[in-house]
């Protein structure tokens, strides 16, 4: 069983800030990292991944891989490639994911899996879990008035949790500043 390494909570007020969070998270990633993204449709998972791609210096536009299931973005900067997977349409667990050969890609890549909960955790004890939730109404920081002023539809509460020894001292709390 994985232990929790570190955690960060970030309030994101726009798609641009979500993309910037991805750019800030990218330098913490290295080959072999598995990143699970959780959030409802339209929460910002692909926008965050787009920022990761920019921060990692990969080739190609990072778009939702919903219909192709997975896209590989090679590095233009000598870093790891980004493998972006959308497991939304995959119902099974790791068995169904085996056709994607993620276990082969993982050691030299950064693998980001949208909708990966309950499907890919077995790939690595050390993984990063990013949960994106909408902050609306009374749940928004500062209450309903602040939510309206900030544009409640765009406000997200993001929790980044590092699981396993890899993430104990990886600098996740620094994401809360800026």
| Helix (H) or strand (E) segment spanning residue 160 | strand 156-163
Report the number of distinct structural domains present in the chain: 1
pLDDT given for residue 50 in this prediction: 96
Name every residue whose Cβ is closer than 8 Å to that of residue 27 and which is 6 or more positions away in sequence. Answer: 55
Task: Please report whether residue 101 resides in a domain.
Answer: yes
Domain region containing 13: 4-168
Distance separating alpha carbons of residues 177 and 171, to the nearest angstrom: 11
Task: Please report whether residue 56 resides in a domain.
Answer: yes
Task: Please report whether residue 27 resides in a domain.
Answer: yes
Residue 130 forms beta bridges with which residues?
37, 160
Task: Please report whether residue 177 resides in a domain.
Answer: no
Distance separating alpha carbons of residues 160 and 12, to the nearest angstrom: 13
Q: Tokens at residue 7, please?
A: 């955690």
Residue 159 sits at φ, ψ, to 5 deg, of -115, 120
Task: Please report whether residue 47 resides in a domain.
Answer: yes
CATH number of the domain residue 153 falls in: 3.40.50.300
Task: Please report whether residue 68 resides in a domain.
Answer: yes
Q: How far is CA 126 from CA 12, 47, 170, in A?
A: 25, 23, 12
Task: Please report whether residue 175 resides in a domain.
Answer: no
Task: Please report whether residue 176 resides in a domain.
Answer: no
pLDDT given for residue 138 in this prediction: 42
pLDDT given for residue 36 in this prediction: 95
Distance separating alpha carbons of residues 77 and 152, to the nearest angstrom: 37
* Residues 81/107, Cβ–Cβ less than 8 Å: no
Q: Tokens at residue 123, please?
A: 């790939």
The overall average pLDDT reported for the chain is 83
- What parts of the chain have a pLDDT lower than 70? 1-4, 66-68, 89-104, 136-152, 178
Q: In what order do the strands lie in the sheet with 4-12?
A: 4-12, 156-163, 127-134, 34-38, 110-114, 82-86, 70-73
């Amino acid at each position: 069983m994985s232990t929790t390494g570190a955690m960060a909570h970030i309030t994101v007020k726009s798609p641009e800030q979500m993309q910037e969070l991805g750019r800030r998270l990218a330098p913490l990633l290295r080959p072999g990292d598995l990143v699970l993204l959780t959030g409802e449709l339209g929460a910002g998972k692909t926008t965050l991944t787009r920022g990761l791609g920019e921060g990692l210096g990969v080739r190609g536009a990072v778009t939702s891989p919903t219909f192709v299931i997975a896209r590989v973005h090679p590095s233009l900067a000598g870093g790891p490639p980004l493998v972006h997977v959308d497991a939304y349409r995959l119902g099974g667990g790791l068995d169904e994911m085996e056709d994607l050969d993620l276990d082969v890609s993982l050691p030299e890549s950064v693998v980001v899996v949208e909708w990966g909960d309950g499907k890919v955790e077995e790939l690595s004890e050390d993984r990063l879990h990013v949960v994106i939730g909408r902050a609306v109404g009374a749940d928004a920081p500062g209450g309903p008035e602040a939510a309206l002023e900030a544009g409640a539809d765009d406000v997200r509460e993001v929790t980044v949790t590092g699981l396993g020894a890899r993430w104990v001292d990886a600098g996740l709390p620094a994401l809360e500043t800026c």
